[in-house]
Structure formats: structure tokens, C-alpha cells
Amino acid sequence: MSTDQATAIPLRSRTSIPHPLDPLSVAECETARQSILKLRGSNVAIRFRAIALDEPLKTELCQFLDAEHSGTLSSNTPRPPRVAKAQYDVVNVNKDVAYTESWIDLDSGDEVRHRAVERHHQAALTTHEFQAFADTCFASPLYNKAIDEFKLPEGFVVTVDPWPYGGPDEDEIAPRYMQGLCFARDTRSGNADSNHYAYPLPIIPILDTATGEIVRIDRLATGGKEDGLKYGTHKASILDHCQPAEYIPELLGIPLRTDLKTLNVVQPDGPSFKVSNESLVEWQKWRFRVGFSPREGATLHDVRYDGRSVLYRLSLSEMTVPYGDPRPPFHRKQAFDFGDAGAGRAANNLELGCDCLGTIKYFDAVMAEADGSASVSKNVRPCTDPGSIGWKHTNFRTGRAVVTRSRELVIQFIITLANYEYIFAYKLDQAGAISVETRATGIVSVVNIDPGKTSPWGNVVSAGALAQNHQHIFCIRIDPAIDGNANTVIMEESLPMPMSKEINPFGNGYEVRQTPVTKSQWIDAEPRNNRVIKITNQSKYNPVSGKPVSYKFTPSATQLLLAHPDSILARRAQFAQHHVWVTKYKDGELWAGGEFTNQSKKEVDGVSDAVARQDIVENEDVVVWNVFGLTHNPRTEDWPVMPVEIFQLHISPSDFFTANPAIDVPGSKNQSSILAPGAKSCCDESGAVQQAASSHLQGTGPDLDPKTNT
């Protein structure tokens, strides 16, 4: 029997010195909390938004990392200071301040930097605020008056999904709002997980977060294509035509499949990866650290293969989900899930077996509660994917096949944002490649539609429920360090050539053209030219090919932001308008859509502004941002919970190594497969490969006797 253990990576004891990249410990979180409470004094209430590690300045960290990797680390090695960055509200003190930030040196407990974020920016939303929203609605006279207009069926109660407000209208004097999407839940089963999304209600209450009051009720159109922008076409018995849409097994109403036999992924000797000291991961020549922030979720740092530097940092930077239904106020359905709320905050507690197979460990993520105390969640999981064929070759003359399986190490976290789920995974393989994968699942956002109608703005996935068309646009931030920090980004294309007697007489030649990126710019995908982005080190040459070492990726030509360039949606999401952004490294410049996305009117200090600086990026410390998306026009198969949609960014070495780095992976006979009697084994336990059964290509003897045809 397999004896896999799932173990928690132990939190650091107070006696060991943290690595500069280790996430905060519970104790450090507490230190920061206490410092801030002391600083602000006992006459004010502090509501914490976040406390997390303030990553060191790059120059300081690189110095430390160099010493670490060269084995010269000692007690004399200068260490970047351990600093916690806290974001919090000083309740009811200064209305010109959106929120306050303090940087606390964790050795001294001193505040080393302070910022009062001005009111025209809005703080991200916190779990506390999400939690409180529904209750505020239920207590509001304005809300109740609106709800009373509807004749809800017996046994149904209203439930409110909290959302960020989206882009305010031009002339709107907008305090910090939240908006609520309303649905009704059938309580008659007594099951709290009955799916309320089947019963959408056409109102959106607006909360002023400062006053704690519902200040407005937005009305939603429920018409069909014949109704244009018209409102009020619905009846009071607004849900009578709707249908249940359960997904939890006991309410499903149909039996579960019974013909699925057990399939187990087992590692009888334990996993091949090693996790130490909270954050250090080692596996198959890879060595890197895993970070975690409330905004980004899991991040990778100091990623090296066989001791060589590949990436300084890799992260999900931002995502936006604009809706394409033009009927107001749906233009305000445009969340920035990282900036508005925080992927780290929204990350699921991962449980054994369901999300990842095989041997599982998990990283503990430390985050602050509203009172600043630390809570520990098991949000990030490393595990191994069995993979499929890594490489194979059969010598047709001898019939000998050598084949290896490609395993991948997966660092995964899953976030839930009300109705939607996103599964994020960093995948590293044995051939030196890194992938970032995003998967969308969960429940599509629906609004009420009158019975019998259809709409050009979405699909009726359930009677009375219109799943609106929308996009999901993601941005990954790649901070490369290809054999060092000074890199050059090159755009490479494969282009047709004219026929010519001197150069291309038969017309089959094609040109591979490289264009270096000299100043910061954006680049769009162009797969029809095989446009590839190479991140090179122009000072390091591959000794075999003579070319600069590099890593590369092919940007997918997915659809970019559809919203009109003059729309507030486009102004808020400049990042979503091009596939690749190349910028010069700047400490703290982590967020493609800018630092403040919640309720923004435009993108500020995101990649668009960074590129506008026109920095020289050739042979410099560059950052490459990759944007890709999914235009999601829902189908009925996406209901009630959608099958995953998968997107992958694949970053692979290109003349970085002198040969396939996985050439030394043993060919593996899978020990769990039993041979049928008489069949030859193709691999033995030591990894040596025996001669395979005769390949069909060997054929029979050459000459045939015409008389016997033998």
C-alpha cells in the first residue's frame, strides 16, 4: 500500500535566520502589528488590510544571492533588512487618506517609511469588507424597498455577491463604493450550498464604504434583443420562470457516474522534490524559492537550473474581466482580481487529493486578519505531474527505442472570486522549461432575462439566466536573469524570401530575422510570422552554436481588450491592449495595471506608463510582461459549473544549454504496468533499454521469387 504523507512545511523557529526571500513568519507579522499599534497610539482603531514581506531592493538582494550561490555566505555578509509592509486604515481620522502604509524594520521594530495614500486612489477590498456587505444590504431601507418590488417564491432568500465598483462614470464624484450582485437562494432543501446563481435579481445595491450605507440601487435591464437598452420589462414574479441549477452531489437530482474506476497516482518512495526552510524548493536540477503575497498569491524567485540563473522573479501580475453587455450599468462589471481584491487573499485552502494527485506538501501562507493577527493558510501546493513522453527515438534499423517520461513540478494555487475560480500553476520540467498556466472554472456570471427572450449580449444557459459575454485577460510578469541580470530582448521572426537565382533559386528558403528591443516598448503577437520573444544575454555565448544564450516564448495571439479605446474600461486596462511589454526594471514596479486598480478611472503607473519612460532596455535589467486572454461567450456546457479553460505561457531555453538538458533522464519502465504473457519488456529497472520487439519497419527479406511470391 502506498504511504504518501502530506506534510506541512514547518514554520521557521525563532532561532534560525530567515532568508531575505522567506515570507513573513507569524512572529514577524506580530512584530509589525505591535509596532503599528504603538505608533498610532491607543486612541484610534486600526483596521489592517495586509501585512506582508516587503521584498528587498534588487541590488541588495542580488548581492546576497551572489554570496549564497558562490558559497561565500557568512555572518559578515550584508543582508538586506527584513521589512514588513503593512496597509491599514486609521478609522475615522483623516478622510483625505484612502489608507495608510507603514514599512516596519523587523529587527528594530521601527517604522522606516510611511505613506498616506491619497483619497483619489482607492484601497483594494478586503475579506472583511466582502463579508460585511451582505449584512449591510439586508439592513438597508433603500435595498429592502427595492427587494420588496419582487414577488419571490416561497422559501427563497436573497444573497448578495460583493464586487468592486468598477470604473466610475466620468462625472461621478465617487466615494469608495462596492456593488452587489443579487441572487435568490432556495432554502427549502435546508442545504446552504444550493446554487443561488440560477436565480438572478435585476438590482445592484451600491454601498458607500465610508458611511457604511447603501446609497443607491441600480436597476438592471432584463430584456432581449428586441428591447435594446430598455429597462423595466420584467414582471414582479421575477424568478418564476427560472430553473434550479444545482452542482453539489446531494442536490444534483441525477445519479453520479458509477463507472469510473479508481485511478491513483502514487509515489511509494515519496516525492522527488525537496522543500526546506519554508521557501526553498529543489527538484531535478531546479532550485528556486516560493514567495507569497496577499496581492499576487504565489511567486517564484531566484530560479536556477543546474546552478545557472534563469529568472529573478516570476509572478501573475494582474488580470481583468470586462463584460461586453453594453446596457448600463454592466460597463462597471470589470474586476481586476489582483489589484481590487488580491489573489493571495482569495486563495483556496487546498485539500488533499482533490486538487492535486500524488504526494503533496503545502506551503503555509501567513496573512493578516483585520486586527493584524496572523492567520496561516495552506494555499500553495507543490506536487508532481506524472507527465507524458519527454523525448523518444527509435532506431528503425535495430528497433531499439529509448523513451523517457517528462515529469513536471507544479506549484499551484487556486483562487475563488465569488462565482469564478482560477487555478494558477507554475510548472517546471526536466528539460529546463518553465510554464505558467492559468485555468478558469467556477460559475459564469448571469443576469436575469425575461422568459422566452434571447440576447446578443450573452447566452441563456438556464431559463431566465443570461450568461453575459466577457473576457478574461491575464498578465504574467517575467523578471529574467538569463545567466545574469543584463539581458536583451529580441523579437525574432521567420519570414518568406523572394525567389532569386543567387540566393534562393527554388524558393524554399526563409529568413530568420532578429530585431533587438532597444527602448521600452510593447510588441504584439504575430504567430503567422512565427514571432518569438527571446530574452538573451549578449555577453554569454553558447559554445556549440556560437549564439547568445537565451530563453524564449511565443506570445499567443489571443484576443485583446474589445472595449472601445475611449471607454473607461480601456482607460483602466491599458495593459490588456498589447501582448508583450518590455520595460526596464524598477523596484516595486510589479503590477501591470498599476498599483491602484480598484475603482480606477485610468491605469496609472502600469506597464503603459512604464513603457512611456522610454528607458534603454538593451543589455539592461529588463522585465518582460506577457498578456493573453480568453474571450468567453458562454455556452450551455459552461453551466452550472464550467469545465476548465486552459491557457499556458511556455518559456523554454534556446541555446542556453549545449544539448537537451533532459538527455540524462533515465528511460523508465512504469513499474505498475504488468506485462501480458509473452510480450518483451522494453526497459529494465536500471534504466537501460533493451531491444524492443521488432519494429514493423524492418520488413521481411528483399527478393521475391516470382513463382512462389515468397
598 close to 123: Cβ distance less than 8 angstroms: yes
Q: Site residues for its own copies, window 578-607 (CB under 8 A)?
A: none
Choices 60-68, 75-83, 129-137, 612-620; region in contact with its own copies by CB under 8 A: 129-137
Q: Which of 10, 232, 496, 588 binds its own copies (CB under 8 A)?
A: 496
Identify which of residues 76 and 388 has a Cβ nearer to its own copies in the complex.
388
Q: Which of 10, 155, 232, 270 binds its own copies (CB under 8 A)?
A: 270
Identify which of residues 181 and 665 has a Cβ nearer to its own copies in the complex.
665
Q: Is 38 helix (H, G, I), strand (E, B) or coil?
A: helix
Identify which of residues 164 and 442 has a Cβ nearer to its own copies in the complex.
442
Helix (H) or strand (E) holding 142: helix 141-147
Considering the complex, what minimum distance in angstroms separates the CB of residue 154 from its own copies?
Answer: 22
Q: Does 210 bind its own copies (CB under 8 A)?
A: no
Identify which of residues 173 and 675 has a Cβ nearer to its own copies in the complex.
675
What is d(CA 470, CA 548) in angstroms, rounded to the nearest whole number? Answer: 42
In sequence order, what are the residues at sequence separation of 6 or more whose Cβ sits closer than 8 angstroms to the Cβ of residue 677?
Answer: none
Q: Does 171 bind its own copies (CB under 8 A)?
A: no
Q: Which of 15, 70, 262, 307 binds its own copies (CB under 8 A)?
A: 262
The grid coordinates listed for 378 are 495552506
Q: Does 139 bind its own copies (CB under 8 A)?
A: no
Identify which of residues 312 and 422 has a Cβ nearer to its own copies in the complex.
422
Q: Site residues for its own copies, window 605-664 (CB under 8 A)?
A: 631, 633, 635-644, 652-664
Identify which of residues 155 and 505 has a Cβ nearer to its own copies in the complex.
505
Cis before 329? omega within 30: yes
Helix (H) or strand (E) holding 131: helix 127-138
What is d(CA 384, CA 368) in angstroms, rounded to the nearest whole number? Answer: 30
Residue 258's φ and ψ, nearest 5 degrees, are: -115, 0
Q: Which of 13, 75, 211, 710 binds its own copies (CB under 8 A)?
A: 710
DSSP designation for 337? I
Q: Does 251 bind its own copies (CB under 8 A)?
A: no
Site string for its own copies, 442-481 (x = CB under 8 A): xx----------x-xx-xxxxx-----x------------
Q: Site residues for its own copies, window 367-426 (CB under 8 A)?
A: 367, 369-372, 375, 377-379, 384-386, 388-403, 405-407, 414, 416, 418-419, 421, 423
Alpha carbon 604 to its chain centroid, in Å, reads 21
Considering the complex, what minimum distance in angstroms separates the CB of residue 634 from its own copies?
Answer: 9
Q: Site residues for its own copies, window 65-124 (CB under 8 A)?
A: 91
Annotated catalytic residue within 88, 312, 420, 551 = 420
Q: Which of 14, 70, 78, 697 binds its own copies (CB under 8 A)?
A: 697
Choices 52-60, 75-83, 95-103, 672-680; region in contact with its own copies by CB under 8 A: 672-680
Q: Which of 10, 155, 232, 268 binds its own copies (CB under 8 A)?
A: 268
What is d(CA 32, CA 27) in angstroms, rounded to the nearest whole number? Answer: 9
Q: Which of 15, 78, 173, 528 binds its own copies (CB under 8 A)?
A: 528
Q: Indicate the Cα dihedral angle 129, 444, 434, 546, nearest 10°.
A: -120
Q: Which of 557, 601, 618, 647 binds its own copies (CB under 8 A)?
A: 557
Beta-bridge partners for 533:
491, 553
Q: Site residues for its own copies, window 7-36 (CB under 8 A)?
A: 7-8
Q: Site residues for its own copies, window 425-444 (CB under 8 A)?
A: 429, 431-433, 439, 441-443
Considering the complex, what minimum distance in angstroms separates the CB of residue 90 from its own copies?
Answer: 10
619 close to 608: Cβ distance less than 8 angstroms: no
Q: Which of 107, 564, 587, 588 binds its own copies (CB under 8 A)?
A: 564
Choices 20-28, 241-249, 479-487, 599-607; region in contact with its own copies by CB under 8 A: 241-249
Identify which of residues 63 and 504 has a Cβ nearer to its own copies in the complex.
504
Q: Which of 542, 605, 609, 615 binds its own copies (CB under 8 A)?
A: 542
Q: Indicate the Cα dihedral angle 583, 57, 278, 340, nearest 10°.
A: -60
What is d(CA 56, CA 20) in angstroms, rounded to the nearest whole number? Answer: 7
Q: Is 40 exposed, middle or buried (0-12, 13-18, 19+ CB in 10 A)?
A: middle
Q: Is 698 helix (H, G, I), strand (E, B) or coil?
A: helix
Choices 141-149, 150-158, 213-221, 254-262; region in contact with its own copies by CB under 8 A: 254-262
Q: Indicate the Cα dihedral angle 590, 562, 578, 409, nearest 10°.
A: 60
Instruction: Decide if 420 is catalytic.
Output: yes
Residue 209's φ and ψ, nearest 5 degrees, are: -70, -20
Q: Is 709 exposed, middle or buried (0-12, 13-18, 19+ CB in 10 A)?
A: exposed
Site string for its own copies, 316-355 (x = CB under 8 A): ------xxxxx-x-xx--x----------xxxxx-xxxxx
Considering the complex, what minimum distance in angstroms separates the CB of residue 422 from its own copies?
Answer: 10
Identify which of residues 434 and 460 has a Cβ nearer to its own copies in the complex.
460
Beta-bridge partners for 243:
none
Beta-bridge partners for 628:
474
Considering the complex, what minimum distance in angstroms separates the CB of residue 17 from its own copies?
Answer: 27
- Closest to 133 measured CA to CA, from 199, 180, 196: 180
Identify which of residues 232 and 643 has a Cβ nearer to its own copies in the complex.
643
Q: Count Cβ atoms below 10 Å from residue 648 Cβ, excluding itself.
A: 13
Residue 488's φ and ψ, nearest 5 degrees, are: -125, 135
Q: Count Cβ atoms below 10 Å from residue 408 Cβ, excluding itself.
A: 22
Q: Which of 141, 190, 255, 307 binds its own copies (CB under 8 A)?
A: 255
What is d(CA 631, CA 176) in angstroms, rounded to the nearest whole number? Answer: 29
What is d(CA 401, CA 387) in angstroms, rounded to the nearest whole number? Answer: 19
Size of the site for its own copies (CB under 8 A): 230
Considering the complex, what minimum distance in angstroms separates the CB of residue 286 from its own copies?
Answer: 11
Residue 631's φ and ψ, nearest 5 degrees, are: -90, 115
| Length of the chain in terms of residues written | 710
Q: Is 42 exposed, middle or buried (0-12, 13-18, 19+ CB in 10 A)?
A: exposed
- Closest to 447 measured CA to CA, from 622, 238, 301, 600: 238
DSSP designation for 339? I
Q: Does 682 bind its own copies (CB under 8 A)?
A: yes
DSSP designation for 332? G
Considering the complex, what minimum distance in angstroms separates the CB of residue 583 from its own copies?
Answer: 23
509 close to 667: Cβ distance less than 8 angstroms: no
Choices 12-20, 51-59, 473-481, 677-685; region in contact with its own copies by CB under 8 A: 677-685
Q: Which of 157, 527, 588, 614 binds its own copies (CB under 8 A)?
A: 527
Cell 438592471 locates to: 220
Considering the complex, what minimum distance in angstroms separates the CB of residue 551 from its own copies?
Answer: 10
Annotated catalytic residue within 337, 340, 479, 655 = 337
DSSP designation for 689? B
Q: Does 189 bind its own copies (CB under 8 A)?
A: no
Cite the active site residues: 337, 420
